[in-house]
Structure 1
Amino acid sequence: MGCFNDIRLFVACFGMLLLTDIMAGVMKKSSLTTIERRFNLPSTTTALLASSFQIGSLTTVLFASYFGSRWHRPRTIFIGSIFLVLGNVIVTLPQFFGGIYEFQDIASNASSSTRARITECGSHNDSSDMAEIHCNEENNPTNNLYILLVVGMMINGVGGSALQPLGMSYIDDFAHKRNSPIYLGLTKAIALVGPMMGYVVSSFVLKLWVDIGWVEISTINITPTHPSWVGAWWLGLLICTSGIAITMIPFPYFPKKMQKQKYKGKSTDEHTDELDEKPSKRDKDDNESAQTGSALSREKKKFIATMTSLLKNHFFHLILLKMYLGNLAFVGIANFFPKYLEVAFGVSASKASLLTGVINIPAVIVGTLIGAFTMKRCNVGTVGATRMIAVATFLASACIAPLLFIGCDTIDISGITTPYENGTYDNLPAVESACNANCGCDSGTYAPVCGSDGVSYISPCHAGCVGAEYDASGLTQNFTECSCIAATRESVSWAKPERCQLSNCGDLVFVALAFKSAASLFAGIAATPMYIVMLRSVQVDQKSLAIGLYLVIIRVLCWIPGPIIYGAFIDSACLYWGMKPCSDRAYCKVYDNKAYRHRFYGMIVLFNILSCMVAIALYYVAKRVQKKEKRDSTDVPLKDENLNGVETKDDPDVEEKLM
């Protein structure tokens, strides 16, 4: 099929596949707080979910990268896409098997299939037998269904393990080397539309009730800003999965090899066509295998030899270190930035996803395109490319550092951030006081109310309220006779069923997003040069395996432990752990905002500074190697003034000088 023998069509199709796959990934990441509430999980457990994808990918990425490149790269991508679809479907199964979500509702003070009863002071003194019966009635299987999320994410990892190694190397192999940076940059730019669309779709579906289609929506009396709200996270994932199923269709029709693209513009290298037409080591190996018959043992030896060559390439090691440190900073942003916006600025989960998608992600896309077009337009050489990486990384670090100091303080919550009357700050947090000591409040309850004194309390029981006022429909208007709330001259103490405030500096969210977007712009500028330098530092038949090795290192040392480490640091800033009745799973309800911000962004700033230092070292190493090459021989094609003309792959002497 002639139309499928065009690398430009492959760039478009591969970009769209990555776009839909990343959309699905963003849907899962932006729904982390929603999944926490749905299955009563701490941040460390949800971080394990994020790491499950990397664990699954790790099992196959090297073999899929190497053997997939020797078999048929487009068809291997198609098979991987099937696993992506299967994994996403499994991730949504807990919603269908888990029953109806029960939330804590204090406005409707009655027990139903969708509400957990929240009562006033003194109404918790039921017999233990009645409490046990209540727990047995409400015991449901959702506590362990999150295991399906782990399994589905691991299958996702298996399917997605070979997409980038095979797709990116396929583009670089069959595009003209002058066009390769722009094609790779366009592919990444198209793919980066995925996060933006994913966050936008996420913001829409998270406004829908999680059990839409199962319950009568008119009976849900809480809004997306309520602390117990859970949106339809599963619906967005199914939408994105449908996109993957559609965009994967063309890949079986692309050839194993296509003719090398000819450059139509003016070439600055008289030997470009000659260099492009030289057979690679892989081509020679394939011809030899066809003549002698390939065996599994022979392929194993070739795999080991190729891996050994990569492990001896010290310039490649420095590139991996730079990318590793950059990913350590990015992993926190990717997994916990929407949650940070929720906690630090009091925005809803849907608004956090929308802000991330429409403000932050476009900056990454613009930066990626700027980097790609600069590489092509200015004919950037190796030293110039590493200089771009160093400068852009420094500017990104400078923009992210101020976020350590931009944020809101924790809102006043009696017994957590501010003491009860006659209490002291030294004993905080202390949710029990003399005013509610005889109320028998459930530990771990979090159903905040706003007292007439302007302070929030974690529940009407903890506010010492013994009465309630109802409207005509039976909804609670106010809780009354609250012993922990100081009465005013005009009226007795009371509390309304909501928090007094969601944030004390909500407008600062746009200032924080401005700095974050600037950092993302500069990080995007460095992305394409970084990828090109990595591909040009290895032989042509090592590209797929080099990308695969990069992904293994990043996932083992970064994407698997990274979310867990960030989650542990975030949980260490927790002031109050919530727990549903009849459940032994604790999840954080109130954070120390300042500690959260300093620990979250402190790690990000640290990794950015280290990444900047390595980028500067990479520039000086490339500059030193270029000077040495010019002294040794003017005929060596590596590290000339055109990075796109670097031919490390065809000159073993030059490769030794990089090692």
Structure 2
Amino acid sequence: MEVDGSPDRFTEPRPMEYSGRNQKTPQAKCCSPTLKIFIGLLAFCYFTKSLTGAYTKSTITQIERRFEISSSTVGIINGSFEMGNLLVITVVSYFGAKFHRPKIIATGVLLMAIGTLLMALPHFIMGRYKYDTAAAHTNDADNITVSTICSSDTQNTVQQLVSGCLKGEAESSPTWVIVLFGNILRGIGEASIGPLGMSFIDDYARPENSAFYIGCLHTLGVIGPIFGYSLGSLCGSLYVDILNQDSVTITPQDSRWIGAWWLGYVVSGLLTLFAALPLWFLPRALPENPQSTKLDHPSNQHKHTLSITEMAKDFGASLKRLLTNGIYLLYLANSVFIFNAYTILVTYTPKYLEQQFGQSASNTNFLIGGISVPAVALGIFLSGWIMKRFKLSLLGSTKLMFFTSVISLVCTIPLFALSCENIDVAGVTVPYQGSIEVQNSSRHLLTSCNADCGCSDFQWDPVCGQNGVTYISPCHAGCNSTQGAGQNMIFHGCTCIPSWELTSGNSSAVLGQCSRESSCTKMLYIYLALQSLAFFVYCLGTTPFFVVSFRIVDPALKSLSIGIFLLVLRVFGGIPASIYFGALIDSTCLKWGQKKCGGSGACRIYDIETFRYIYLGLVSSLRAFSYVLLWMVITQIKRKVQNENQMSKNTELQTVCAM
């Protein structure tokens, strides 16, 4: 019987066909030991790839500060994974399904391991991380950085003589490109895991078990981020130069703090390398599906090698059939909007929590990995169980997706009310005494109390005044004497501090920004609880999200449909979302840092109120529009089912009349 070539054809879960002999053999069981081994190994690959992906998200702010780049540039680095993926995803998903899929997957995982290890390389070729601070004076032959505070004996007190720039040291070169290239390799390697892995399981598992296996696969994959964010928390609490912890005068809450971001890439790279090796020893085909086994039998292998040209010709026809499937295209459009929102959430949630609630990168990653990610894992697991338990049809699967999506969106509405105010930073968020308003930080950083101190506009060495206001440096606070050393240093005689509220007395300041209000911590936990609930409800529709993508097309186009599906999501979702939202974040920056060799560096402080409305508003809008498209998909599927049922009844009626 020929397969219907109608471009709008979609399929329900199909019954497995067994010969009479095979029905009496163990092949009729749910799966053979070999399939179980494949699922286990593929799950470990999902674990390592999701661990590395989560760790990459957790290091976004660390990479931004280490290389002194903007959020939009970090967005390009993050999107480079999708760029590498789309380079090969279509070819791998179509041609790879016709060859030795386990070995192709193993090759991809090996590339991922190489790319991950490559991302840690810049740390070993760059010099030690140095930051300007009044609590430490550095004076060596190659790099002289002297930061002093305002006093009657010194004028033009900020002196930076960085001879390393003239010598072309690694720190002055764009070494972040190595991180970008490593992430591209990761994307190229990952292209084979999803399409080939899911199609391999769907080919050799019984139809009623396929969705459950895919759900378990993604559940195990979601466990990876728990370890990824935990690893990010651990590495974030360690100073970037691990052997120089004692000389550090800043805390993890400081915007200049950089954790040991490179260490996690070494760990995850080695794990990924270990995951690739066992896949090389799996067979090309499994005995569960006699038809597939026959096609993949060694006696017929020459047909595959001789038909590569025919495969290439058939690719165009297959692509045309796929892209003329109206339901598939509508589902693609819905998924693009969802993936834009997903990319923003996954990439910038750590940064949002850091800025909104004043948390360190280490604490933020720990909370995400301990609260939000387990909720996601549980939701995905129950999603696969629901699909198996209730044997949902294609229409039932899409309805489940719609209702879980809408409910999760409702759960996020209270998040708009959970926020903290910007800390008071003189000349940035609040004016010095005598200033009417703050419109441009570079014009209001200097005032009468510090005009003669020679302070640099780009200096960022914050101190907290006894009036509760943060000053971007002791120099800008007008301090003229110090007491103590290191993190315990206290600055006295700060002429700008009394000009705020005090009228007399010896005003002082301590290193570091002033702390946020105590209610910020409470709001953070409420925020994470509501967000985790929303994630859990939404993930109840995750398994249908993947299953529907290859149930609405002809079985022969299953692997290609997944490949095109992932390709489109990356081109119109994963890549642009991380870049344009990074640019939107940059637009909320109130105080930019400066590279030692000149040029704008990483942002030091953001307008968190604008940040909040951009972050939550854009994500909610993208999700809401996608649900409108999903409802249109449900309507089209329902209409298609009704038409096919009517045609079936007419055929039965004609048969009865003919008798």
TM above 0.5: yes
Instruction: Please state if 1:22 is matched with 2:36.
Output: no
Matches of 1:124 and 1:402, distance apart in 2: 53
Is contact 1:101-1:114 (8 Å) kept?
no
Could you tell me which residue of structure 2 aligns to residue 236 of structure 1? 264
Could you tell me which residue of structure 1 aligns to residue 212 of structure 2? 182
Matches of 1:155 and 1:197, distance apart in 2: 22
Could you tell me which residue of structure 2 aligns to residue 562 of structure 1? 577
Q: CA deviation at 1:39?
A: 0.8
Out of 497, 502, 522, the residue aligned to residue 485 of structure 1 is 497
CA gap of 1:256–1:291, structure 2 versus 1, over 3 A, is closer
Q: CA deviation at 1:571?
A: 0.9
CA gap of 1:583–1:426, structure 2 versus 1, over 3 A, is closer
Instruction: Please state if 1:252 is matched with 2:266.
Output: no
1:590 aligned counterpart, secondary structure:
strand
Matches of 1:233 and 1:421, distance apart in 2: 41
CA gap of 1:245–1:285, structure 2 versus 1, over 3 A, is closer
Matches of 1:293 and 1:480, distance apart in 2: 80
Could you tell me which residue of structure 2 aligns to residue 626 of structure 1? 641
Matches of 1:325 and 1:512, distance apart in 2: 24
1:255-334 correspondence runs (5 A)? 255-260=283-288, 283=295, 290=302, 294-334=306-346
Matches of 1:124 and 1:66, distance apart in 2: 71
CA gap of 1:156–1:533, structure 2 versus 1, over 3 A, is same
Gaps of 5+ in 2: 1-26, 653-659
Instruction: Please state if 1:107 is matched with 2:122.
Output: no
CA gap of 1:360–1:116, structure 2 versus 1, over 3 A, is farther
CA gap of 1:17–1:107, structure 2 versus 1, over 3 A, is same
CA gap of 1:69–1:286, structure 2 versus 1, over 3 A, is farther
Matches of 1:636 and 1:231, distance apart in 2: 69
CA gap of 1:107–1:230, structure 2 versus 1, over 3 A, is same
Could you tell me which residue of structure 2 aligns to residue 345 of structure 1? 357
Residues 335-384 of structure 1: CA deviation (Å, up to 9, x unaligned): 11001110000110011111111111111111111111111111212221
Out of 182, 194, 201, the residue aligned to residue 152 of structure 1 is 182
Could you tell me which residue of structure 2 aligns to residue 599 of structure 1? 614
2:483 aligned counterpart, secondary structure:
strand
CA gap of 1:134–1:438, structure 2 versus 1, over 3 A, is farther
1:438 aligned counterpart, secondary structure:
coil
Is contact 2:430-2:438 (8 Å) kept?
no
AA aligned opposite 2:66: R
CA RMSD of aligned residues (A): 2.8
AA aligned opposite 1:529: P
1:507 aligned counterpart, secondary structure:
helix
Could you tell me which residue of structure 2 aligns to residue 265 of structure 1? none
AA aligned opposite 1:347: Q
Could you tell me which residue of structure 2 aligns to residue 645 of structure 1? none
Matches of 1:124 and 1:29, distance apart in 2: 44
Could you tell me which residue of structure 1 aligns to residue 35 of structure 2? 7
Q: CA deviation at 1:470?
A: 2.7
Out of 501, 504, 516, the residue aligned to residue 515 of structure 2 is 501
Out of 436, 441, 457, the residue aligned to residue 424 of structure 1 is 436
Out of 166, 186, 194, the residue aligned to residue 164 of structure 1 is 194
1:104 aligned counterpart, secondary structure:
coil
Matches of 2:604 and 2:462, distance apart in 1: 10
Instruction: Please state if 1:121 is matched with 2:150.
Output: yes
Out of 199, 203, 225, the residue aligned to residue 233 of structure 2 is 203
AA aligned opposite 1:388: L
1:560 aligned counterpart, secondary structure:
helix
Gaps of 5+ in 1: 262-276, 638-659
The worse-fitting range, judged by mean Cα deviation, of 626-635 and 402-411 is: 626-635
Out of 393, 396, 416, the residue aligned to residue 381 of structure 1 is 393
Residues 601-627 of structure 1: CA deviation (Å, up to 9, x unaligned): 111000110121122222222222111
Instruction: Please state if 1:390 is matched with 2:402.
Output: yes
CA gap of 1:636–1:441, structure 2 versus 1, over 3 A, is farther
Could you tell me which residue of structure 1 aligns to residue 626 of structure 2? 611
CA gap of 1:124–1:161, structure 2 versus 1, over 3 A, is farther
Is contact 2:149-2:157 (8 Å) kept?
no
Instruction: Please state if 1:37 is matched with 2:62.
Output: no
Q: CA deviation at 1:506?
A: 2.6
Q: CA deviation at 1:114?
A: 10
TM-score (norm 1): 0.88
1:59 aligned counterpart, secondary structure:
helix
1:223 aligned counterpart, secondary structure:
coil
Matches of 2:491 and 2:569, distance apart in 1: 53
Is contact 1:105-1:116 (8 Å) kept?
no
Q: CA deviation at 1:220?
A: 2.2
CA gap of 1:414–1:636, structure 2 versus 1, over 3 A, is farther
The worse-fitting range, judged by mean Cα deviation, of 356-365 and 575-584 is: 575-584
Could you tell me which residue of structure 2 aligns to residue 272 of structure 1? none
TM-score (norm 2): 0.88
AA aligned opposite 2:43: G
Instruction: Please state if 1:541 is matched with 2:569.
Output: no
The worse-fitting range, judged by mean Cα deviation, of 183-192 and 391-400 is: 391-400
Matches of 1:170 and 1:32, distance apart in 2: 34
1:581 aligned counterpart, secondary structure:
coil
Q: CA deviation at 1:424?
A: 1.2
Could you tell me which residue of structure 2 aligns to residue 444 of structure 1? 458
CA gap of 1:444–1:490, structure 2 versus 1, over 3 A, is closer
Q: CA deviation at 1:139?
A: 6.5
Residues 115-146 of structure 1: CA deviation (Å, up to 9, x unaligned): 95432126884599x74465658963124111
1:50 aligned counterpart, secondary structure:
helix
Instruction: Please state if 1:576 is matched with 2:588.
Output: no
CA gap of 1:612–1:116, structure 2 versus 1, over 3 A, is farther
Q: CA deviation at 1:109?
A: 4.5
Matches of 2:189 and 2:432, distance apart in 1: 54
Q: CA deviation at 1:490?
A: 7.1
Q: CA deviation at 1:494?
A: 1.6
